[in-house]
């Protein structure tokens, strides 16, 4: 049986580590040609090496997602080299955890410009290419922080909340071009040593476990499956049920 994403061109930002790296390997295993994007050149090389060792083709671009001209140039290069884009997963992002009294405007801008503006520019430029080749799918990685917060997370929360609004707006705008746009809101997804987690880390989740990158992979597979073209403008909360759990301090 032919692999599910055979010969599809799949672009993944933040592909140098963690969830992005897991996505790159998973889509490659399903037959896709992966396009790896990250500002961390060493991380990109590591992901590229893992793919090469497994016998998979990929393209790599060192890009700072906060710099719009770099994002635009990268998509133009993809068009030149590959001629098409079928799937984009906007995964790149980071946070700065500081009191709002101490967070500088420059720090705010660095988070929002990477997480939110970078997602918009990448999606828009990718859509320009997708609409010439029959459409495609865009998945934006938001966060449960779009809906609930801890202290000192203002820039990150604002960027992730913006990504949810951007997702449904672009789904409406790009629908006529047969481009579906959805989001995933992960909670705790452990990208380090899973075996080092404590029992209470798992049991605080209604699912009785902390999430893994593979959980995000499966959600992305669902949202990018061409058969699920009726699913657009929405988001999947992927948090083991934590946003539905009432917690009282004793």
156: annotated active-site residue? yes
Q: Could you give the CA distance from residue 13 to residue 234 in angstroms, rounded to a whole number?
A: 20
Lookup: tokens for 238: 């992927």
Q: Which of 5, 101, 156, 194 is catalytic?
A: 156
- The helix/strand/coil state of 32 is coil
With 0-12 CB in 10 A as exposed, 13-18 as middle and 19+ as buried, what is 104?
A: exposed
C-alpha distances in Å from residue 139, one per residue of 23, 45, 189, 208: 12, 24, 17, 27
Non-local (6+) Cβ contacts of 87 within 8 A are 5, 8, 9, 10, 11, 27, 32, 136, 137, 138, 139, 224
Task: Go through the chain and tell me how many residues it has.
Answer: 250
Residues serving a catalytic function are 156
């Amino acid at each position: 049986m032919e692999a599910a994403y055979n010969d599809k061109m799949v672009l993944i930002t933040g592909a140098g580590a963690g969830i992005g790296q897991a996505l790159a390997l998973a889509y490659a295993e399903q037959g896709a040609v992966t396009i790896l994007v990250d500002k961390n050149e060493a991380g990109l090389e590591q992901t590229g090496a893992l793919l090469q060792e497994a016998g998979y083709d990929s393209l790599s671009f060192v890009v700072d997602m906060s710099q719009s001209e770099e994002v635009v140039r990268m998509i133009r290069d993809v068009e030149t080299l590959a001629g098409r884009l079928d799937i984009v997963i906007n995964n790149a992002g980071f946070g700065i955890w500081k009191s709002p009294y101490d967070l500088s405007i420059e720090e705010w801008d660095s988070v929002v410009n990477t997480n939110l503006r970078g997602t918009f520019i990448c999606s828009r430029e990718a859509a320009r290419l997708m609409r010439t080749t029959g459409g495609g799918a865009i998945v934006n990685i938001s966060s449960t922080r779009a809906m609930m917060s801890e202290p000192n997370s203002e820039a990150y929360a604002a960027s992730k909340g913006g990504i949810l609004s951007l997702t449904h707006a672009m789904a409406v705008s790009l629908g006529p071009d047969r481009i579906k746009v959805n989001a995933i809101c992960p909670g705790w997804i452990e990208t380090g040593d899973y075996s080092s987690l404590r029992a209470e880390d798992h049991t605080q989740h209604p699912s009785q476990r902390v999430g893994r990158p593979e959980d995000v992979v499966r959600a992305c597979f669902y949202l990018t499956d061409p058969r699920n073209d009726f699913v657009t403008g929405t988001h999947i909360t992927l948090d083991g049920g934590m946003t539905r759990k009432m917690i009282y301090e004793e």
